Amino acid sequence: MIYLKHEEEIELIRASSMLVSKTLAHVAALLRPGITGIELDQAAEEFIRDHGGLPAFKGLSGFTNTLCLSLNEAVVHGIPGKSEIKAGDVVSVDCGVLMNEFYGDSAYTFIIGEVKEEIVKLVRVTEECLYKGIEQAIAGNRIGDISYAIMYHASKINPYGVVKELVGHGIGRKLHEAPEVPNFGAKGKGPMLKEGMTLAIEPMINLGTAHVKQLSDGWTIVTKDLKVSAHFEHTLAVQKEKAVVLSDHSVIKSAIKNNVELLK
C-alpha cells in the first residue's frame, strides 16, 4: 500500500526532515580527528530531543543508537563505537527523526582531512547520483526511472559498484513504507509515481565491487572488497513538475565550511 500525503502531512514530514538536517549539521560541526562515534551519537540524540523530536533509529529492530555511522568500507548501518575518528576517514552519517507522528530520514558522507582523489570523486559522484534520482521523482514517471538514473550515473558514466541489497523507501507515518526505491533498475518499470508520494532516495555507491556483506555485529554492512563506500539521502515529496526536497543539505554544507577538519 502506497500512501499519498496531503499538503499538511508533507509539511510535518518536512519538519521532521529539517530536524534531521540540522542534527547532521550539528554532527558536521563536531566532526574531527579524535572524536568517537559514541560522542557524536550522544550529541545527536540530545540535539533531537532538545528540538522536540525522537531519534527514529533508536530501538528500531533493536538498533541501540541515534545515528548510523559507517566509516570507510562500511556502507550503512554502522554502530557508533568507542574508537576515535581519524584524519583520512570517510564517514557516512545517517539519521532519522520522528516528530508529530511523521518521520524524516537523511544521510550525508563527510571526508575528514585529506584523502586520495579517487575517494573525493566517489563521494562527489554519489551525491550527484542522489540528485539524478531526485530529477526523476515526478508524477507520471515510475520508480524504475529513479533507479535507472542513479545506476546509470554510478556504474555507466562512472566505474562504481551500486549496492543492490539495500534500497530507498517510502516514508511517512512509518520510517520504511512502500514503495521500495532501488538504486538500480530499468526505465519505465515499477510503481507509477504520484503527487503526494513521499520517498527517501538513498544511493549507496562503492569504489570497487557492488557486493556487500554484514559484519558479525548483526548490523554493519561493508563492501566485500573492503574498498570505500559513500551514501547520501534525502526525503522528498513527488509533485507534478519537480520533486520537493524536504530535507536540506545546505545547512550541513554551511557547517562543513566552518569546520577546518573537514574536506570542503
User: Which residues form the interface with Mg ion (CB under 5 A)?
Assistant: 94, 105, 107, 200, 233
Tell me the residue type at 37: G
Collect all residues with Cβ–Cβ distance below 8 Å to 262 and sequence separation of at least 6: 28, 31, 110, 111, 112, 113, 256
From the CB of residue 159, how many other CB atoms can be counted at a distance below 10 Å?
Answer: 12
CB nearer to Mg ion: give 107 or 151: 107
**Shortest distance, position 32 Cβ to Mg ion, whole Å:** 23
CB 50, min distance to Mg ion, A: 21
Q: Provide the minimum distance between the beta carbon of 141 and Mg ion in the complex, in angstroms, as a whole number.
A: 20
Can the peptide bond before residue 179 be classed as cis, meaning omega within 30 degrees of 0? yes
Q: CB nearer to Mg ion: give 130 or 222.
A: 130
Q: Which is nearer to Mg ion, 214 or 258 (CB)?
A: 214
> Where do we find the cell 555507466?
156
- Residue 237: beta bridge partners? 198, 244
Using the minimum distance from each CB to Mg ion, give the nearer residue, 105 or 128. 105
Nearer to Mg ion, 180 or 225 (CB): 180
Query: Kind of pairing, strands 234-237 and 198-201?
Result: antiparallel
- Residue 70, C-beta contacts closer than 8 angstroms, at least 6 positions apart: 76, 77, 78, 91, 92, 93, 94, 220, 221, 229, 231
Instruction: Tell me the closest approach of the beta carbon of residue 180 to Mg ion, in angstroms.
Output: 11
Shortest approach of Mg ion to residue 117 CB, angstroms?
A: 27
